[in-house]
Structure 1
Amino acid sequence: MKKASLLMILGSVLLLGLFVFPLWNIELGAPQYPEPLGIDIYINGLQGQNEFDIQNIDGLNHYIGMKTLPKPEDMWEFTVFPLVIGVMVFLGVLLGVLGYTNKISYKWFFGWFILMSALGVLGMYDFNAWLVDYGTNLDPKAILKLANPDGTPMSYKPPLLGHQKMLNFDAYSYPRLGAYLMFVGMCLTLIAGYLGWRYKKINGTKQQN
């Protein structure tokens, strides 16, 4: 159970990488931009991939009526998400310590994993909802008003994951190091639960014999 508990602690601590490294990245490439424009998305705000990327993207978006990119104070997520991650890290480490001292069973490790998975799904849903609003809720007084062949307003929603063609831009959306660290951390906590279960099963069998 001690090995499982140490993995639980390590897996939880890896989530702290989200406070240092970006969670996601959206990149826009076009012939007129030798270097693509990019946005690194952190749990507490946005940052340009290069120095002036935020200003350049906002300048392009102005012509088609898209909102300016939000500052940390403009979105509640940039305040709540760091708190949620901080609580989950603390809870995971606490469960690991309690497991190490045999105060709790491995089932708590699985419970943490299920809760973190649910929060991750909700976070992705919220992120996609923001992309939809950002790309479709356009200013009717925009300089450029482009429409689909059927006459409906064109959407400029970037992809949640993968590649999408937007006018003459190629939009790419992929996880960054923070997301990979979170994924590895969650895998370690899942392995911790499995090792705890295996330890309990083996020791239970020995006691019966």
Structure 2
Amino acid sequence: MKKSGILMIIGSALLLGLFVFPLWNIQLEAPQYPDPLGMNIYISGIEGEEEFDIQNIDGINHYIGMKKIPTPAEMWEFNTFPLVIGGMAALGALLGILGFFKVIHPNWFLGWLILMTVLGILGMMDFNNWLTDYGTDLDPKAIMKLTDSEGNPLSYKPPLLGSDKILNFTAHSYPKAGAYLMFVGMLLTLVAWWIGKKAKGNEAR
């Protein structure tokens, strides 16, 4: 159980990387922008890849009626997600310590992983809902009002994952370092559960 406890501590500690590194990145690529405009999405806010990227994206969005990139004060997620991630990291570390001293069964590690997976799925669903609202809730007084062949307003929703064409832009949406650290951390907790369960089985013989 000592080895599994250490892995559990390390795995949950990797979540703290989300406080330093971006979780997701969206880039807008177009002929008039040799260097793509990009924004890094952290658990506590959104920042441009370059100094004026957010300002330029907001300027483009203004013409088609899209909202400005939200500030942390304008989205409850940017206040809640740091608390959730910090809490899950602390809980995982506590479980790892208790597992190290054989106070709890390794199935607690699996329970933590299931809870973290559910929270991750809910977070992605919330992110997708935000992208949908961001790309479809347009200002009716916008300078440019573009419609499809049936007369419906165009959707400017960036893809949740992958690349998609939006007017003359190609939008790219992919995970960044924070997401990879979280994934590795969750994988380590799965390994910790498997090793701990195996050790418990050997002790019972």
Query: TM-score with structure 2 length normalisation?
Result: 0.99
- What is the identity, as a one-letter code, of the residue corresponding to 1:55? Q
How many residue pairs get aligned? The number is 205
Q: Secondary structure at the match of 1:37?
A: strand
Quote the residue 1:63 is aligned against: 63
Quote the residue 1:116 is aligned against: 116
Q: Secondary structure at the match of 1:192?
A: helix
**Identity percentage of aligned residues:** 65
Quote the residue 1:204 is aligned against: 204
Give, in whole Å, the separation in 1 of the partners of 2:202 and 2:169.
Answer: 57
Question: Offset of 1:149 from its aligned partner?
Answer: 1.3
- For structure 1, list consecutive stretches of 5 or more residues without a partner in the other structure: none
Quote the residue 1:38 is aligned against: 38
Give, in whole Å, the separation in 2 of the partners of 1:149 and 1:186.
Answer: 46
Quote the residue 1:96 is aligned against: 96
Q: Secondary structure at the match of 2:57?
A: helix
Quote the residue 2:10 is aligned against: 10
- What is the identity, as a one-letter code, of the residue corresponding to 1:127? F
Q: Secondary structure at the match of 1:173?
A: strand
Question: Offset of 1:94 from its aligned partner?
Answer: 0.2
Quote the residue 2:193 is aligned against: 193
Give, in whole Å, the separation in 2 of the partners of 1:113 and 1:89.
Answer: 11
Q: Secondary structure at the match of 1:26?
A: strand
Give, in whole Å, the separation in 1 of the partners of 2:195 and 2:149.
Answer: 57
Query: What is the RMSD computed on CA atoms of the aligned residues?
Result: 0.5
Give, in whole Å, the separation in 2 of the partners of 1:150 and 1:171.
Answer: 24
Quote the residue 2:128 is aligned against: 128
Question: Which segments of structure 1 move beyond 6 Å, counting only runs of 4 or more?
Answer: none
Quote the residue 2:176 is aligned against: 176
After superposition, the C-alpha distances for 1:21-61 in whole angstroms (9 at most, x for unaligned) are: 00000000000001000000000000001110000000000
Give, in whole Å, the separation in 2 of the partners of 1:35 and 1:75.
Answer: 28
Give, in whole Å, the separation in 2 of the partners of 1:6 and 1:150.
Answer: 59
Question: Offset of 1:108 from its aligned partner?
Answer: 0.4
Quote the residue 1:142 is aligned against: 142
Give, in whole Å, the separation in 2 of the partners of 1:21 and 1:202.
Answer: 40
Quote the residue 1:83 is aligned against: 83
Quote the residue 2:21 is aligned against: 21
Question: Offset of 1:202 from its aligned partner?
Answer: 1.6
Q: Secondary structure at the match of 1:15?
A: helix
- What is the identity, as a one-letter code, of the residue corresponding to 1:39? M
